[in-house]
Structure 1
Amino acid sequence: MSRASTAIFHCPFCAEEDLRPVAEPAGAWACQACARVFTVDLVTVDTAQIPGRLAEEAALERRTP
């Protein structure tokens, strides 16, 4: 997932929704309420903590002899 295609809906600092993309740094957003400029990066998804995934793995374990 690239930053350019990621939409941010709330400021992580003040939770305001009035955000605007800015040119520099690439993929950054400017909050109009608290005047912060920030980027958000997805590092990883912890699949071990997804409830659907846990149920799926349990079902597969029951099928394995």
Structure 2
Amino acid sequence: RYRMFLSLKHNSWFKQFNNGVLEIIDLPLCEKDFENVCFLLIRKQNPHLQDIQSALTEYLNLSFGND
């Protein structure tokens, strides 16, 4: 998934076909001795974009103790 969406090194699907419609928001998900890729893929025109991002960030912080 990282290569499909976020990789700077690879020619990702997201970069090739997004056409500026989707927003990708990288949300680090770190646990003790473990790091994973977590991101939100959502339409830029969503009127609740900021609320959704805030709620997801709060959830990750509560669930996984991210700062």
* TM-score interval (norm. to shorter): under 0.3
By percentage of residues, which structure has more helix? Answer: 2
Select the structure of larger CA radius of gyration.
Answer: 1
Higher relative contact order (CA 8 A, sep 6+): 2
TM-score by length of 2: 0.24
